[in-house]
Structures are given as structure tokens and as C-alpha cells.
Amino acid sequence: MRLSITQRQRLLGGYLASPSMAFMLFFFILPCILLILCSFWTAKSFVIDPTFNINNYTRTLGAEGFWKTSLTGFQNGLWTAVASVVLSFPAAYYIVYKTANNNALYLILLSWFSSYLVRVYAWRTILGTNGLINTSLMQMGIISEPIDFILFSPFASVLTLVHIMFPFALLLLVSALRDVKTDYIDAARDLGASGVRVFTKVIIPMSYKGIVSAFMFTFILAAGDYITPQLLGGRDGVTSGLLIANQFRSAGNWPLGAAMAFITLFLFGGVYLIFTQMLSVLRLAPGRRYHDLDQGSKEK
Amino acid sequence: MMLRAYLWLYLAFLYAPIFIIALFSFHSVPSLVFPFEGFSLRWYEQIFSNPTFTTSLWNSIIVATAASIGTTVLGATVALAMIRIKGRAKAAIAAICSVPIGLPGLFLGISLIIWFAQVGIGRSLVSVTIAHILYALPFFVATMRSRIEYFDQSLEEAARDLGATTWQSFRLVTLPILRPSILGASVLVFALSFDELIITVFVSGNDTTLPMMVWSMMRRTVDPTINAASMVAFALSLVVIMLGGLIYWLQRRAAIKSRKSISRVEEDEQVHRGTEQRSENVRPIHGFE
């Protein structure tokens, strides 16, 4: 039997896709399924008993400590995401509409490759008790005692996380704004819209996807981070991410850690829903009310 | 121009901390504050004479190389598959390959640690490499994405109509078109792997990578050699990225040149969509300054 060219192409495509699909199945999908199963097991003195029960979940949901650390993690995530998106937007806007070259973008992306730890360490050096800020302020005679609260606080965590997430948020916003062609903006201007109106009725709805993904990415990465809070957050800065990581590193209660991780993921989903709903309520989400796009404007 | 000033501020915020660390890594005294006492290379000497550091650096280079080779093989085959497959199957493949980006690294780390324990894969540089491939593959596919979307399959068909075998058309047509992006993406993977810590913490055994070593130093002390260690890591990432950029640029230039020499009338397909229109529509919009 002879196959047609298209069939042969498809077959070849299937063969070509198989190694990576096998890899993803074996090292991503199956591990995730195992993690789900594991969250319903029990660990007794380092031996895992695989009988199904929901104790890990009830225990976690009933623990005040879990909610407290979750709140810290979510605050880190929210502040970081809001700051990253809001503060990166003007920079992205400038790069897309005001410059003809990509040099600024390359410079910003280059900073992304400065090691994660270099930045954590840099902020620790700057904010520390004997760090740059304190010593400079003392030399200028503004303060007589070093200020302690700036280091080992949620503020230090957020500042560092913002610094880490900036290039990421910017890249997503730039690629979103690239799709908002100036013709649309000019058309709105020609029809008499003010700058603010153009911004809220054209630019934001049309780059909506990019804004949501930039917000969610930075939120998830910041809220799930456990290294920055550990090095900079201090005692009040313990996040659920750190709590989960400790279940796997030192405490050794894997099932409990797995249950915590799924509850956290579930809460992340909640944040996503709240955020998109909020944008809809504020009339910033795309919909038929504003314009018809040929590329699937969804009725929200 | 307010926005312009803003962009400079933005860049200053991004780079100031890195510059401070760079500066103090050359400080001749152990203090990490101004006034600056003078330059010396003592911290670099100290760090390079530390066997733990050189071993970790070496481990990191091995893992990053292995991870970029592995990711490139998987990512390139999946890119070729996505050119050939259309519709729902393609969307499914793309989705499977990009989900891990949207999950916290912590989640990938813990799912792998349980899995490795269950399947009986010991924790070593091999498990670290596997984790890094999983972490980097979505980035690789995302980087290749625009190339895949704009790939013109009729070029392959034309080659075959002219009598080329499947292999020949791949070698002479498809690969040269994809090569720059593949190289660029594999360099990106190297840099990502070289810097990865969040997942590595869970899946590494007794062999530490450079970020893990720096991290354990940070947890113990405040020590000026950390500056030097961090700068070595950063410098290596930069060199790799620059090298990748250079290769990419040279490849593209060669490609454009050879195309011009055959006097093709067609414009070189832009890697960055929008650059061509942007160059002509850069003008201020009233009411935004």
C-alpha cells in the first residue's frame, strides 16, 4: 500500500515527536501522577504506607501555620507580580513604540542571565546591617543606628524577587505589545480618543493575554520561590514554598509535602481566576464591546 | 522624554546590584562597603585554589553541556515534528512541551524526587541533567516557536520535486533554515542549566553544581569569596550567551549573503516580527509623553 505524501509527512512527524513525547511522559506526566497519588499516602518514620487517605489534606488545611506561610508566599507573589507588570509596562511601551532598535531589550535580557544567586547575594550585601544602605546613611549622619528591618523581612524578599522577575515580565509584555499595531492606536486617536482612553480601550485589551501571562508567571515564580525567602525573608518571611521544600529536604514527610504542593497549586488557580475576573469587571478584558478581532475574541 | 529617562532608570535598577557585586569582588579588603580601598585579585585566587569550587564549576559545565545536547536533540526533533503535523495533534504536542514553564520549579523538583525514588534512579549528575532537560525543553520550544510557525513547507516539497530524497531535502533545505534558531536556543539552554538551583536542590546527589556550592556558602557566612564565585558564574554565562549571539549572527549573515549572491529577490524573513514595520512607525503618540 502506498501512502500519500501528506500521510507520509504525518507519519514522519509522529516519529520525530516521539522521543520528546516519551521524555515528557516519563519525566513529567508520570511523576506528576505519582505526586498526586503520593499526596494520599502516609509517611510513618520514613516508611511510606500507600493506603489511600485524605489525612494530609485535612491536616494541612487545618493547620494555622500553613495558612500563615501561604499568605506570606502569596503576598510576596502579588507584590512582585503587580510591581513587575506595572513597572515594566512603561519600559516595554518605550521599547515597542519609541525605539527602532532592540538594544535596550537585549541589555535587559542580558541581565536575566546574571545568576539568580548573584542577585540574592547582591541585595543581601546592599540591605544588610553593615550593608551599603546602612553604612552610607550612617556616614551621612542621617541615622545613628543601623536599620535592621530592611533585611530579613518580606520587603527584602519582594525587592529581590522583583529584580529577578523584571526581565521576564518585560519580555512577555514586549511580545504582547508587538501585536498591538500602531494602526489601531492611530485609528482610535483619529476618532477622537484621549491618550488615557486609547490606553484603557485599545492597548490594554489588545495586549490582555500578555499582561495576564506576565502577571501569572511572575506571581507563580515568586510565590513558589523558596530560596530567596530562606536567604532574605527572615523569620517572618517563611513561605509555603519553603515549608514544602523542607518537607522534602529535612523533615522527610513527602506525602504531606505533596498535599501542600497541590493545595498551593489549587490556590494559584484561584488567583488566576480572581485576577482575570477583576480585569473583566474593570472593563479591561477584550470582548465584543470593544472591537472585533479576527483572531478569536472571546465573549467573557 | 519621560519614558526614555524611565528606561534608563529601569536599566540602572537592573544593573546596579550586579555592578556592586562585580566591584567588590575586586576589593583588596574583606569589607563590602565604601570607601573602596583598591583593586586586587585575591578573592579570585582564593576561590580558584578551593578544590570544592573547581569541582562544582566543572560539574556545572558537564551538566550544562549534557543538558543542552539532550534538550537540543529533543527540541529539534519536536520542532521538525511540529512543522509536519497540523491541527489538534500539533496543539497537544505544543501544550505538553510548554506546561512545565507555568509550574513553579519547586513543583517539578518534588515530582521528580518522588519519581526517581520510585523508579530507582539514584541522585547524581545524571538525575540533575534529566531535571535540567525537563526544565529547559519548554524554553527551547518557545524560542523555536516563531520559526516553526513561519516555516514554509513548500520549500521542502520543491526540493523533493526536484529529485531530492527526504534526507537530502532535510540536510540541504530544512536544516540550514532552522540552524540559527537551534543554535541560539541550545546556548540559552546552557545558560539556564548553568544557573538552575531551585530544581537541582531536590535531585542532586553528592556532586554539587556551582549554584549549589555558592548557595551553601551563602547560608553559612558572609564571605567576600562569594562575590568572586558569583562573578565567575556570571562571566561564564555571559561568554556563552555572547558566543551564541555571535554564532547566530554570523549564521544569519552568511545565509543572507549566500541568498543575495544567488540574487534571490525575496526579503530575508525577519526573526523578530514587527521590526520591519516598527522602523517606519516610530513616532510619538500624542498624550503619552
- Chain B, 38 to 67: residues with Cβ < 8 Å from chain A are none
pTM listed for this prediction: 0.83
pLDDT value at A92 more than 80: yes
Query: Nearest CA of chain A to the CA of B282: how many Å?
Result: 6
Which chain A residues are Cβ-neighbours of B151 within 8 angstroms?
none
Domain assignment present for A109: yes
Mean pLDDT of A74-79: 91
The confidence score (pLDDT) of residue B28 equals 66
The confidence score (pLDDT) of residue B289 equals 31
d(CA A103, CA B70): 31
| Test mutation, B71, B101, B103, B111, chain A, max A CBs within 10 A | B111
Domain assignment present for A81: yes
Domain assignment present for A36: no
| Grid cell digits, residue B145 | 516557536
Q: Determine the residue of chain A that is closest to B240 in CA distance.
A: A113
B6·A94 Cβ contact <8 A: yes
The confidence score (pLDDT) of residue B65 equals 93
Q: What is the DSSP string of B216-267?
A: HHHHH---HHHHHHHHHHHHHHHHHHHHHHHHHHHHHHHHHHHHHHTT--SP
**CB of A300 within 8 Å of any CB in chain B?**
no
Q: Which domain holds residue A123?
A: 71-240
Domain assignment present for A34: no
**CB of A17 within 8 Å of any CB in chain B?**
yes
The confidence score (pLDDT) of residue A29 equals 92
Residues in contact with B146: Cβ distance below 8 Å, sequence separation at least 6, in sequence order? B271, B273
B107·A29 Cβ contact <8 A: no
Mean pLDDT of A258-285: 87
- The CATH number given to whatever domain includes residue A130 is 1.10.3720.10
- Buried-exposed string B18-36: b where 16+ CB fall within 10 A, e elsewhere: bebbbebbbbeeeebbeee
Domain assignment present for A23: no
Helix (H/G/I), strand (E/B), else coil: A47: strand
| Grid cell digits, residue B139 | 524554553
Which chain A residues are Cβ-neighbours of B157 within 8 angstroms?
5
Residues in contact with A73: Cβ distance below 8 Å, sequence separation at least 6, in sequence order? A223, A224, A229, A239, A240, A241, A264
**Model pLDDT for residues A244-263, shown as the tens digit of each residue:** 888 888 767 888 888 999 99
The parts of chain B modelled with pLDDT lower than 70 are 28-38, 259-289
**CB of B285 within 8 Å of any CB in chain A?**
yes
Which chain A residues are Cβ-neighbours of B137 within 8 angstroms?
20, 23-24
Helix B87-98 and helix B51-84, axial crossing angle in degrees, nearest 10 = 170
| Grid cell digits, residue A203 | 492597548
CA torsion sign for B233, B239, B240, B241 is positive
Which chain A residues are Cβ-neighbours of B239 within 8 angstroms?
none
| The total number of structural domains that make up chain A | 1
pLDDT value at A156 more than 60: yes
Domain assignment present for A52: no
Domain assignment present for A122: yes
B113-117 own/partner pairs: CB under 8 Å, 24+ apart: B113/A248, B113/A254, B113/B202, B113/B203, B114/A31, B114/A34, B114/A35, B114/A38, B114/A254, B114/A258, B115/A27, B115/A30, B115/A31, B115/A34, B115/A35, B116/B203
The confidence score (pLDDT) of residue A25 equals 92
d(CA B73, CA A19): 9
Domain assignment present for A249: no
Residues in contact with B89: Cβ distance below 8 Å, sequence separation at least 6, in sequence order? none
